[in-house]
Structure 1
Amino acid sequence: MSSISVVDMDLVLSSVNLRKLVSRCIPKELIPTNWKCKKGYIYWDLKDLLKLAETQLGMFESDQALLEALLNFLRVPGCPNLLQFNIDDSLMALPEYHMSLKGSAFIYKSDIYALTSAIPCPFIDWRRVVVQSALNKFRRNMEIVTFGCEMVDSSNDILEKLAEQFDGNCWDASPCSDYDTKTDFKHAAAGFNIAAQTAEDMYEVVERYMETFPLEENKADYGHMFTWIISTVRFFLNFVEKNFPVTEKATVRLFVTGKENYVMAHELLQSLKNKNLDVSGFEEEIQRMPALSTLEFRDVARKVKIQDMKNIEFIRIQSSTPSLTAIPIPSPDGGYCVRASDALHELLVDMLLAKKVLQTVESEAQLEHLEKYFVSVQNYFDSDRGVFFISLNELNVIKSKWEECYEANLKNSKQAKSVRAVGNEGFSLEDLEKELKYLDLDKVFPDIYTVAEWSYESVLDVKPKESLNQTDMTYMIYQCQIPAQSKDLYQMGIIFGLSVLQERSCGIAKKFEKSSGGKSIGRS
């Protein structure tokens, strides 16, 4: 993948925020009810989660693989706001770099403010929590007001430059030492050209701690903390101005899926207009298109003038298979969207692996309800409309409708079985078939053994039988169930989505072979 991501391995994430992240990335049915998430260290908590879940989370080879899947979501620009993380969490997840066709490195503009997590802090104990919480509030505010899908040129040594900016004692203790009210704080911040609302919001974060650590008893400490907060924000804003100048060229994301390259039509239009490039030949056409419509790259080359193409930075955004949940992508309207095929994948994971509906269905009437549900959401996935993305709000509607359908029509008293543990010697096709029968999947889908043979043989093309593991078994069982839904999926007009899922199924062995030995299985 043409991107570089830096993650501090001493990842700081509170138990409360870790649970929020896990709950967003893993279906609730796969999270053990007795998982406490209170170890205080992310690796211990995730190791505990896998131990309690047993084979329920068999798609993850190790706690490291699970962590990488979570980090893929954590790297989403503006993730702390998206998941409504507690403000006092010191989050160490730094920006992801994407390469343009011309070889330049770019990051999302909103991700600039994630760099605040790498600023060294001179305080300890509760004082450290106070100042980092205030800095987190600054980061959150800036991420909210920064245009979501805009990207900026960034050097690969940006962390080194940041370290140089904040090397040593770079702040003077005098400006705020005697200031101890909100008015004083805002006045001092104004002297450093910090916006009044930003200063007020940061002060309110600090003020929360004054109930536990009274101002009168810790006046000198608060004075030094106020000084550091204001100085650090000003130094950081200077750093941004110096290292992230306004990009002269228009920036447009180029989404790459296999051999296909496409852009979001409205992003293209908006970016070119912002740089006063000529859009007269296609503006009206794009304005009539749905919000998240796409254009193939060759169509862009035909529509945009040759001289204008030279003034556009097309930035590759590689497509990769999510583990369980669709990864949000900043959209041109300032919100988020997901690939429609990824949304379908998340939906089928919830149906087939989490709720295990094909294991518990008891009547033809229930299958009819399932078919009606697919029909009710078909417009969201209709590739004939030229929309290969759906908004995050639409995904939430799709999932909400599914939950309602499941609770009202498909939830049975019958207890679904879990996949049994795979031994250290791998497993055979016969073992896979026995597992499918044990799970009662042959009852609703008698042809599943034919699919199993194809699935198993495709895996053996790239890895030996002896190396097959729990991850392989889990995803083979998942892929074997997808053809059972093929009638509904084709009726929905989402052949593209089904083909993508089948391609993923064919590539399972390669994907999970990379995940062995502690490597990740999520987005790279």
Structure 2
Amino acid sequence: MASNSSPSAPSSLEKVIRKYIPKELIPDSWKCNNRRQEENLQDLLTQGDNPQLGMFASAEELLTQIDLYVNFPRSMQYFDMDPLDRIEPKPYLHISLTKNTFIYEKDLFKIFNCSPFDGEKHSEVMNKLNAYWKATTDDNDHKMVFYPYILAKPDVSNQRPICAPISNTLCKAFNIEWEEYVKKEKNKDTNAELNEYFTYTRSMAVWIELIKRNFNHLVDNGFINLPQLNLFPPIDFKKPRIRVFSFDEHRFVVVKEFIQILAAYQMDWSTYLERNAEDVRTLSTFSFDKISKKICQDPENQLEFVILEIPKLMFSQTPIPTWDKGYCILAADALYELLMDLIVAKKVFHISEVDILEKIWIHVKKVFDALKFYFDSTSEQINFLHLKDVDAIKAMWKHVYNTHLKRYYPNVKHFKKPSQTAFSLAGLVETLESLGLEKSCKGIITKYAKPVYMQFETETEDGLSLSQLHVAITRCEINWVVGKMPKISEFIHNQKSCNRMNIVGYMTSPTPPSPASKFDKEVRTYVPKELISPTWKCLGEDFSVQLKSLLDDEQSQLGMVESADRLEDDICCYFDLIRSKFEDPIKKLPYDYKNADEKPCIYKNDMYMMFNAIFCCPFPNPWVLDAVKMILNACWKEFAKGVSDHEMIVCLHGLDLSKFEMPPYTLPETPSKKDLATMINKWKVENRSNINEMVDFIVNYVNAFLKTYKEKEKSYEEYTADVKQIIEYVGFVIRKVAKFASDNDIHMPPLHKQLKKKKAVIRVFQVGNKKFVMAKEWRKTCEQHNIDIGRFKKEVSGMQELSTLTYDEVANKIKGVAEIVTIEKERLQTFRQTPIPYDGGYCMLAVDALYGLLLDMIVVKKVFQTNEENQLEKFFALMEFYFDVSRGVYFLSFENVEVIRTMWEYFYSHQIKKSNGKVIKKAKTAGFSVGELNETLKSLELCFEDISKYADLIYPKLANENGLSQYQLHMALIYCQVNCFARKVPKILEFIHNQNSCTRMNIVECQHCSDEAAAKKMENLEIGGKKKNKKWK
């Protein structure tokens, strides 16, 4: 169809680059040629002896920034065409609080803006299409339209998600239709060649009509209508759409846009805001927190809030369409752009002549004084600025620079290309000095060098990368300028942009809330947010106490949680956390597996968790603590190389729990370099026989840490005592690891090489009375240990991913030649099930994925309260691929589990009528009778008529002599609904049965179980009869 020749139109990429990057940073000789985008940008980054764009680590990083700036990604290609320098647009996806997905209405056309032509024909087609789009859409660039998530699951590799898959689907459809058209035209021609008229005129017209027809078919009242993809229509997608802007966890809404949209829908905006709210500036905002509580309390909320993350770019920021038909950026971002031009492009402080610097600073200060209207330090709300105001700011600065400061540019010191690729704090200091910044920005090194340096999580053991060094220098200068101007400092603080602009030292972001516990994130990830009290805070260090406070909070809806201890165990299992309540190091791991000889079995990559949990560095110096933590983590990574997450080891012997004692070694009061070297060499000699080459590994990392993080004022020799503490303690822990590896003959080079050939370790999972193995994992393990598996080799090859074989089938093959580790999966965890590692990622039992889905429906979203269950039957018809009744017990990858959750959230948002779910509050905590269970079921107004039948059957399975506890009551309510719904959707019941989970999920009177039992009984009778006849004969 299309050739690979480049379009004849001027390079769109070059235009964008010159708009995004300050001209001073682009070499005069650089041109964007007919090469790939990355090649052109790589040339830009490396051209010349003094490259000034070193803040970009790669051409790909720069291209990503450009994509975000011009609001389209670079990966759009049609018909496998190599567009070379052509940039094709594609819309960005935005997700609402209710998990709906939206795009800007004007972005809809971007997924169609394509052509299979080159050169002038491509330009002509694009011009005609753009004229059509302009006539089709209105002038409100900020207007958003609904865009189904299942059509466009976002690619989150960028800072903003892109809805890519829909484009690929449409292009494929276009391609098929287009090819059919071309074939038809070719068949009309006896020479099988297209004539001149068809090639240059008719084909373009047909293509444009084809695009228009598909576009009109796609857009229907703001909803995308693709019959081949639409699985179900939404109930309502016409709610007012309010944009909620977000960065650094701050969420805010433009006041006047909010008022205008609600007024257009004839809704009273004063329900949410004070009446004087409309008297603010055009692009002022209010915190979303002001109205979020009202929204949460109103189940009939008629507003759709769409979250728009505002990315942070290196130079110019992405323009945001406004409600008044313009474009804007954050006011703080406008300040940042000005500072970047002043510092990076014009380099006004890279001058060491003091008399010149005084003149420069006078003019710089005058500029900021003149701009105080735009950078208003008295405003406490986050503000935007119209682009016309941003242009006015830049014009004022440009006039001052050209008139007063440009003459000094020849005196500027430019960044010289260094020979090394990694830089310590000392390297940053040296670079600041070489640029004359210690003279021009007095105090920049002592005040800002180290705090800025510590902002980076260095990727190399030696310190900052070259690109990070460039960024660090810029941050130091920005901090210095801001520190010299209190009003600008206050403005940044009030705009909540201290973190966004990397302000360090004495400046902080707005007063932070009380510090949350280190477990806060885990709790809120594991427990559905709808069940957590809005007032509860996770504070303090005692995890058990925090969880008890969560369960005791009157506004929490966690009656289905048995106890704080049970919830703690479940969270530790899910996140692979140490269980601090146990003293035994092996029991501290979040599981308890044993082999046939009752010996503990652990995942090899979890072994290091035990050492971290048991051995705590005794030294109070935070510098030493940080070094120990960093070096031990580096050791763990070294040991984990080549080890699969699912590889298990049998622990025949426990850990050596003897305490650390600092060996005596007298150091001189003022150590010399020789003393330091002597101490290190002595330690290496003493420890080499125990930990082999790890002595060199540890010392190298200590040197790297010292080089990176030591204070400039102190010499290496002054750290001798600290270095001794670090290497002695790290060596102590690694010796414990080496002994553990040796005692248990664990292959862990360079500490220990396995001496004896070991049996294969095979995981056997157990659900109920059935045991099974992961088929492909079992085959691979057997092959690695030369265990003959006969016919199974071929049989397993044809099985689906994560299928299983029963243990009875394979037992004879592995009995006596393998260590069997039994992993029981009888107990269902409270909310999320423990991830199971396998060779390819993590997974869970397919039936556990179903249980999680049902739990969300029943407990979180309460869909059976006043809802018709037949709507859910439609959803489960779509889920038959994942919950396959034709398969035996099997697992699902976490990727597939995430797809199930995504589709359920989408279906719930657009198909299910929301219910005013009733919260179960009981005065007592135990002693509930079957009558009280039935009364509670009745009060929930569930859509099942026969639910009391299941209550009578489930009650005796859960109750003790005192009746049901509150926890048991909640679980009974869940199991009653599961049983009812499983009868309404028979394939659910069949699936649960086939997965051997009827008992786990408290399915009562299962017909499949009854049929199986009857068949088994009949089989036993037949066998017994045959034996009896044989005996009498």
Place the TM-score, normalised by the shorter chain, in its bin.
0.7 to 0.9
Cα separation, partners in 2 of 1:224 and 1:385, compared to 1, 3 Å: same
Please report how far the alpha carbon of residue 253 of structure 1 lies from its aligned counterpart in structure 2 after TM superposition.
Answer: 0.9
The 5 A counterparts of 1:16-415 are 17-52=518-553, 54=555, 56-74=557-575, 76=576, 93-94=588-589, 96-117=591-612, 118-124=614-620, 126=622, 127-128=624-625, 130-132=627-629, 134-136=631-633, 138-139=635-636, 142=639, 145-155=642-652, 158-159=654-655, 161=656, 163-164=657-658, 167-169=660-662, 178=676, 193-194=693-694, 210=709, 216=714, 219-220=719-720, 222-224=722-724, 226-228=726-728, 230-232=730-732, 234-245=734-745, 246=754, 248-301=758-811, 304=813, 309-321=815-827, 322-331=829-838, 333-359=839-865, 361=867, 364=868, 367-410=869-912, 412=914, 414-415=915-916
Q: Distance in 2 between matches of 1:368 and 1:207?
A: 67
> What displacement does 1:248 show?
0.9
**CA contact under 8 A between 2:979 and 2:1003: conserved in structure 1?**
no
8 Å Cα contact 1:135-1:202 kept in structure 2? no
Structure 2: gaps of 5 or more residues: 1-514, 579-585, 668-672, 678-686, 746-753, 1005-1033
Partner secondary structure for residue 101 of structure 1? coil
| Sequence identity percentage | 26
Contact 2:767 2:824 in 1 (8 A): yes
For structure 1, which segment, 476-485 or 189-198, has the greater mean C-alpha deviation from structure 2 after superposition?
189-198
| 1:478 counterpart = 2:988 | no
1: CA distance, partners of 2:635 / 2:726: 13
Seen in structure 2, the aligned counterparts of structure 1 residues 281 and 506 have a Cα distance that, compared at 3 Å, is: closer
Counterpart of 1:456 in structure 2 is 955
Question: CA 1:392–1:234 in structure 2 vs 1: closer, same or farther (change >3 Å)?
Answer: same
For residues 468 and 379 of structure 1, the distance between their equivalents in structure 2, rounded to whole angstroms, comes to: 38
- Tell me the TM-score normalized by structure 1: 0.75
**8 Å contact kept, 2:767–2:825:** yes
Residues 249 and 313 in structure 1, CA contact (< 8 A), matched pair in contact too: yes
Please report how far the alpha carbon of residue 482 of structure 1 lies from its aligned counterpart in structure 2 after TM superposition.
Answer: 0.7
Aligned-partner Cα distance in 2 for 1:176–1:19: 48
Q: Say whether the 8 Å CA contact 2:517–2:540 is kept in structure 1.
A: no
Partners in 1 of 2:969 and 2:573 — Cα distance? 23
Range that drifts further, 23-32 or 191-200:
191-200
The Cα of 1:35 is off from its aligned counterpart by: 2.2
Alpha-carbon distance in structure 2 between the residues aligned to 1:144 and 1:354: 41
Pick closer, same or farther for the CA change 1:146–1:498 going to 2, 3 Å: closer
1:504 partner SS: coil
SS state at 1:239 partner: helix
Note closer, same or farther for the CA distance 1:168–1:383 as it changes in structure 2 (3 Å cut). Answer: farther
Aligned letter for 1:168? E
Q: Secondary structure at the match of 1:505?
A: coil
Does the Cα contact within 8 Å between 2:593 and 2:602 map onto a contact in 1? yes
- Once the two structures are superposed, residues 169-204 of structure 1 have per-residue CA deviations (whole angstroms, 9 ceiling, x without a partner) of 36989999948xxxxxxxxx9996249999988988
Specify the SS of the correspondent of 1:57: coil
Contact in 2 for aligned 1:252/1:313 (Cα 8 Å):
yes
Higher Cα radius of gyration: 2
TM-score, structure 2 length as denominator? Answer: 0.40
- The answer (yes or no) to whether the contact 2:930–2:955 under 8 Å persists in 1 is yes
Read off the aligned partner of 1:389 and give its amino acid letter. Answer: F
Using a 3 Å threshold, how does the CA distance of structure 1 residues 298 and 61 change in structure 2: closer, same or farther? Answer: closer
CA distance in structure 2 between the partners assigned to 1:407 and 1:198 by the alignment:
54
> Which is bigger in relative contact order (C-alpha 8 A, separation at least 6)?
1
Higher share of residues assigned helix: 1
Residue aligning to 1:6: none
Q: SS of the residue aligned with 2:886?
A: helix
Report the alpha carbon displacement of residue 108 of structure 1 after superposing the two structures with TM: 1.7
User: Secondary structure of 2:897's match?
Assistant: helix
The number of residue pairs the alignment matches comes to 453
Decide which of 930, 941, 944 is 1:445's aligned counterpart. 944
Aligned to 1:158, the other structure's residue is in SS state coil
Instruction: State whether residues 763 and 821 of structure 2, in contact with CA within 8 Å, keep that contact through their aligned partners in structure 1.
Output: yes
SS at match of 2:795: helix
The residue identity in structure 2 corresponding to 1:272 is C
* 1:94 partner amino acid: L
Could you tell me which residue of structure 2 aligns to residue 491 of structure 1?
Answer: 987
Q: Which amino acid aligns with 2:853?
A: L
**8 Å contact kept, 1:138–1:202:** no
Contact 1:329 1:337 in 2 (8 A): yes
Q: What is the one-letter code of the residue matched to 1:342?
A: D
CA distance in structure 1 between the partners assigned to 2:674 and 2:947 by the alignment = 71
Contact residue 593 and residue 601 of structure 2 kept, 8 A: yes
- SS of 1:314's equivalent in the other structure is strand
Task: Tell me, in whole angstroms, the C-alpha distance in 2 between the residues paired with 1:233 and 1:17.
Answer: 25
**Aligned-partner Cα distance in 2 for 1:97–1:139:** 22
User: C-alpha distance in 2, partners of 1:418/1:355?
Assistant: 11
Counterpart amino acid of 1:481? Q
Q: Is the 8 A contact 1:429 1:456 kept in 2?
A: yes
Shift of 1:249: 0.7
Amino acid in structure 1 at the alignment position of 2:919: S
**Distance in 1 (alpha carbons) for counterparts of 2:771 and 2:824:** 10
Deviations 1:369-404 (A, max 9, x none): 422221222222225233521112211111121112
CA displacement at 1:432 relative to structure 2:
1.6
> Which SS does the other structure have where 1:377 is aligned?
helix
3-state SS of the aligned residue for 2:1002? helix
Counterparts of 1:373 and 1:214, CA distance in 2: 64
Q: 1:130 to 1:447 in 2, by over 3 A?
A: farther
